[in-house]
Amino acid sequence: MDEMTQLRELRADAPVPDRAALAPGRQRLTDSLAGGRSTRRLRADWRIASIGAAAAITAAALLTTQIGSDGPTHGATAAAPLTLDSPAEVLNRAADELAKQQAAPEPRDDQWIYTRTKIAQREPKAGSAGVGRLSYDPDSWVPYDNSAAAENGKDGDYRTARQVYRAADELPDDPALLLAKVRSFYPTGHTADSLPEAEAQHSFRAMGLMVEAYPIAPDALARIYRALATVPGVKVTDHLVKDAAGRDAIAITRKEDGSHEQREILISPRDYSYAGMRFVAAEDYEMKVPTGMKVPPETYKAGEVLTSEARIRAAVVDAEGQKP
């Protein structure tokens, strides 16, 4: 068996990558390798750090981040006691608060979306098969109307900020109809590299992509939260967790089908905005290592954070490079 085959099989049990989330990162990495900026930001799907992507990532400038590093907090939690007993209770309460908020005007087509992000990743043991480094730029500027990228990109699931904003604004109130619309907006895979998903997992993945979009009208996000609570298998962690910036966050979770990990959508307990995402070990397990690879197996404990992304700031600005 050749080395590349071994590398591909090493994380064969990992869930299918989010093509919509990874497409911008692929382009930035390509630009970097072609002589662009040395630290291009990669979107935070933990599978970026899989062995299959290791060769490309290592070719770029490598920055190491640690889970639990210092960072700002969201601030005080909501005034009323927050009970994390059920996802429906949490998400419906969040929706009620969001529905009271006034929406800002939709950005102009010539404006930019600025985000600042912090990524943290589990560092593997010395000599293990894992990859503990990730290259990214915490500051990002993307045109609100990024039509050129949407039209020229190879990933059919890529959506511009404008497309997501308008699609979210038109979502129906009925949760079942809303979920169907979002699944259609972010379709499941149909290739060997992006296999079809079961409906519940497809819904949770697609809703996660919709929730992390910026900007999104408060009433649209409220409808999304209400529908998210109805996805089969969705849960809420019974205590606040820490995001990659060390802030408290509510974790809305679902175990990935056929995997040992769970995907978590993180929400601020202060204003119920999107705070970030995490992949966490749902159970104790040992990563399989192909026969012939001389590395010790990597072991994981239930509750261990594999990768985490925190959105520290997001804003609409008038020009690339401008910060709010």
Residue 78 lies in a domain: no
Residue 72: CB partners within 8 Å, gap ≥ 6? 245, 246, 247, 312
Residue 148: CB partners within 8 Å, gap ≥ 6? none
Candidate ranges 266-270, 283-287, 293-297; pick with highest mean pLDDT: 266-270
Structural domain range at position 166: 3-67+83-317
In this prediction, residues 118-137 reach a mean pLDDT of: 63
Residue 209: CB partners within 8 Å, gap ≥ 6? 18, 20, 21, 186
Token pair for 88:
């429906």
pLDDT at 324 over 60: yes
SS3 22: helix
pLDDT at 128: 52
Between the CA atoms of 198, 261, 55 and 64, what dihedral angle is there, to the nearest 10 degrees?
140
Residue 245 lies in a domain: yes
What is the DSSP-derived secondary structure letter of residue 63? B
- Which strand (E) or helix (H) includes residue 201? helix 199-211
Where helices occur in 214-279 by DSSP H, the ranges are: 218-228
First to last CA, the chain: 53
Residue 154 lies in a domain: yes
Residue 73 lies in a domain: no
Spatial contact of 145 and 151, defined as CB atoms under 8 Å apart? no
pLDDT at 232 over 90: yes
pLDDT at 126: 52
Digit-coded pLDDT (tens) for 102-120: 999 999 999 999 999 999 9
3-state class percentages of the chain: helix first, strand second, coil last, to nearest 5: 30, 20, 50
The pTM score is 0.74
Q: What angle do CA 80, 71, 36 make, to 5 degrees?
A: 130
Residue 75 lies in a domain: no
Residue 218 lies in a domain: yes
Residue 77 lies in a domain: no
Q: How many separate domains does the chain show? A: 1
The number of residues in the chain equals 324
Q: Nearest Cα to 231, choosing from 205, 193, 196?
A: 205
Residue 155 lies in a domain: yes
**How many other CB atoms are there within 10 angstroms of residue 259's CB atom?**
18
